[in-house]
Every structure is written in C-alpha cells, then in structure tokens.
Amino acid sequence: LSSRTPVTNGITNHLPTPVQRPRRLRISPALRDLVRETRLTPAQLIAPIFVRHGRDLRVAIRSMPGQYQMSPDQAAREARELAERGIRAVLLFGIPAHKDACGSENADPDGIVPQAIRAIKDAVPGMVVISDMCFCEYTDHGHCGVLNSPDRSDFQPQLGEGYLLNDPTLALLAEASVVHARAGADIIAPSGMIDGMVATIRAALDSAGLSHTSIMSYAAKYASGFYGPFRDAAESPPQFGDRSQYQMDPANAREALREVDLDVAEGADILMVKPALAYLDIIRQVRDRHTLPLAAYQVSGEYSMVKAAALQGWLDEQRIALETLTAIRRAGADMIITYWAKEAAEWLG
Ligand code: PBG
C-alpha cells in the first residue's frame, strides 16, 4: 500500500472525522447486548402440538422435519419438556378419529383435543393451553365449517354448492368452544375467519359460566400458500377449491385493519396476524392501532422452507430461525406461535 502512488494529492489528510460513529456501540458482545432494542425469550413463544388418538404414539410429519403428531400421553410428555425449557403455552390441533360433514368430533367432550387438554393440564398444571378452534381438521370436505348443500333446509342456490355457510358455522363454533373450555383450555383461538366468530364464542362461553376463558382471535388470517406443509400435519386439505372465500387476500392491508377492529369490538382478548414473515407490515400496523396483546403465527411453510434449505446445507437454521423470530418481535408481536419454540428455547439458553 505504501508503495502506491497517491492519487489524491494528500487530500485524505484533511477529511473531517465522522461526528457520529454508530460502530462504537458494536465493538463488543456486551455493548451490543446493552443497546439491543428487541428481546426474544422462551416465555414469548407458543408451541403448536398436533394430537391424535392412541397411546405412546409419535408420528413424524413428512413435510415438517422435527414435528410430530402425538397421542395425548406423548403431548403431556412434550408439555413437560417445553415447560423445562421455559415455554409457557401450547396451541393444540386435533386429528379426529372420524370426519363428517359438520365436524362432529370437535364438540365431543371425549374428542381428541379435550383428551389432550386434560393430559397436558394433569402433567403441567401451569401450562397455558390454547385450543385452535376450527372445523377443517374435523370435516370430511376439509373446509372450516358447514357447506351450502341441497340436502340442507337452508340451502341457498345463489351461493352455489360448497359455499361455506357463515351463521350455521357460528353455532357449531359456539358449541365446540364451550366443550374445549370445559375440558380446561385457557384460551380459545378461532382460526376460521368466520364473520362474527369472536362475539358468538364470547357469548357462548359467558352463558356457560366460562367468562374467565380468553379468546385469541386469528383476526387477520390470509389465504396463504405458506400453510402448505400444515395440510400434512393436520390432515386437513380442502377436498375441493381453496379458502379464499373466507381467508383474506394477501393483497389487502386496510381490510386486515377492519377485520382486527371488528374482533376488538367483539371482545377478543388477544389479536393475531398470520402468517408472520410476509406480513410484518400488518403486524406493525395492528401494533400501532390497538393496545391489546398481539400474537403472530410463524406458519408451517415459514418453518419448512428453512428446514429444507438447512438440510441441503444452504443456510444456518439456528441463525435464520432466531433472526426471523426477532424480526417478528421487532415488527410488534408480543408473542409468536412457532414450530421452533422448543429448539429456540434451547438456543436462547
Ligand atoms: C385451521 C388452521 C390452518 C393453520 C392453522 N389453523 C390451516 C389453514 O387455514 O389452511 C395453518 C398453520 C400453519 O400452516 O402452520 N384453519
């Protein structure tokens, strides 16, 4: 370098020194820790658990490496392991023994989710148990409620066969929510994007003496390709069509705020935006607009695409998982539902 001919004629000797040097605060790990704006702790993470009938069962989910469908005893064991790592909440999805047109098992007090709730509460009484309240896992057609059909007395020809009927679905949601809450669920999390679901479930819980049971509303849930791997996990793909007649268009942001406003007015205790990474702008806008606690759901596709790339050796899974979780927190989420909950709790120490 010293042998290089100066091309600046000594002008670099007279450059002003920077007034601000942000790099000063990046010199050591301790300094970086001191000025970190966003914290990520295991207590902010919620672990999804897929439960199915049986004993001592752990069935690997092909599209989601590291995730399993578990029988209630195994779900209880999992809850213990999660609690040891500082995770305070789980979100349950049920795979029923039988599916039918109106998803009857969802309202069965001995159905798979009530069984799992009791097993988990027995094993870890302090664990917050959240029940995902939807019908897509329970119906033979895989849609999130009951469908318009000529065999129904309320058939609506102008809507076409197979249209998801809103108000008849509300009645079923009310019934199943009371069953799950009676089994011990602390929080009911309606995820079907059915109009009026929060108000209906609130009224049903209150009239059943369950005014202490909270509602975490999937307030802004988009019709997303990122749910792909979940269809394997919950065995819940729609048998025809898709969910765009009830879930939101990814192109819309104002509509998400309207959905959220409605759920606030209907009595939601916790709001949710789903998916997370492609919707950080929505998380931020909801955070700025409302004071209720806000959850974000880092969904199956967000998990599986990183797992797949990591298995190829193309990226560092731990680093990407913690980076995305931190970004979701930075965008404004108080809590994050994530398939990395257990691993992230370990990484966070
Ligand atoms: C049920 C439900 C789904 C997810 C959560 N609850 C599936 C869907 O809406 O199609 C997706 C979760 C994930 O992809 O991790 N309605």
Residues belonging to the binding site for Mg(2+) are: 259
Percent of the chain with pLDDT over 90: 92
Asked whether the predicted pLDDT for residue 7 surpasses 90, the reply is no
CATH number at residue 266: 3.20.20.70
Closest among 260, 276, 264 to 219, alpha carbons compared: 260
* Active-site residue, from 99, 274, 307, 342: 274
The residue assigned the tokens 């895989």 is 142
Residue 164 in contact with ligand 1 by CB distance below 6 A: no
In a domain, 2, yes or no: no
Q: Is 329 in the pocket of ligand 1 (CB under 6 A)?
A: no
pLDDT in tens, 81-97: 999 999 999 999 999 99
User: What's the pLDDT band for 24 if we cut at 50, 70, 90?
Assistant: very high
User: Would you state the structure tokens that stand for residue 133, as one six-digit string?
Assistant: 């309240």
Question: Does residue 270 belong to any structural domain of this protein?
Answer: yes
State which amino acid sits at residue 272.
M
**pLDDT for 144-155, tens place per residue?**
999 999 999 999
Q: Is 342 designated active site?
A: no
Q: What are the beta bridge partners of residue 274?
A: 221
C-alpha 235/C-alpha 227 separation (Å) is 12
Could you tell me the two tokens for 306?
A: 């990183």
Indicate whether 11 pLDDT > 90. Answer: no
At residue 1, the pLDDT reads 53
Residue 22 lies in a domain: no
Does 27 fall in a domain?
no
Q: ipTM value, please give it.
A: 0.96
Q: Is the CB of 139 under 6 A from ligand 1?
A: no
Domain presence at residue 191: yes
Per the structure, the count of domains in the chain is 1
Annotated catalytic residue, options 99, 221, 307, 342: 221
Look up 307 and say whether it is catalytic.
no
Helix (H) or strand (E) holding 95: strand 89-95
50: phi then psi, degrees, rounded to nearest 5: -95, 120
- pLDDT bin (cut points 50, 70, 90) of residue 2 is low
Q: Which residues pair with 214 in a beta bridge?
A: 187
> Which residues span the domain enclosing 326?
39-348
Q: Does residue 311 register a pLDDT over 60?
A: yes
Give the pLDDT confidence of 210-233 residue by residue, as tens digits.
Answer: 999 999 999 999 999 999 999 889
Which of 63, 136, 226 most suits a substitution to test ligand 1, by most atoms within 8 Å of the C-beta? 136
191 in contact with ligand 1, CB cutoff 6 A: yes
Tokens for 210?
A: 């369950």
Query: Does residue 32 lie within any of the structural domains?
Result: no
pLDDT band at 306 (very low <50, low <70, confident <90, very high): very high
Residue 135 near ligand 1, beta carbon < 6 Å: no
Specify if 16 maps to a domain: no
The answer to whether residue 188 scores a pLDDT higher than 60 is: yes
Backbone angles phi, psi at 7, to 5 degrees: -100, -10
Q: What is the pLDDT of residue 10?
A: 73
pLDDT of amino acid 5: 64
| 340, part of any domain | yes
- Determine the residue type at 304: S
Structure pTM?
0.95
Pocket probe for ligand 1: among 139, 222, 231, 236, the residue whose CB has the most ligand atoms within 8 Å is: 236
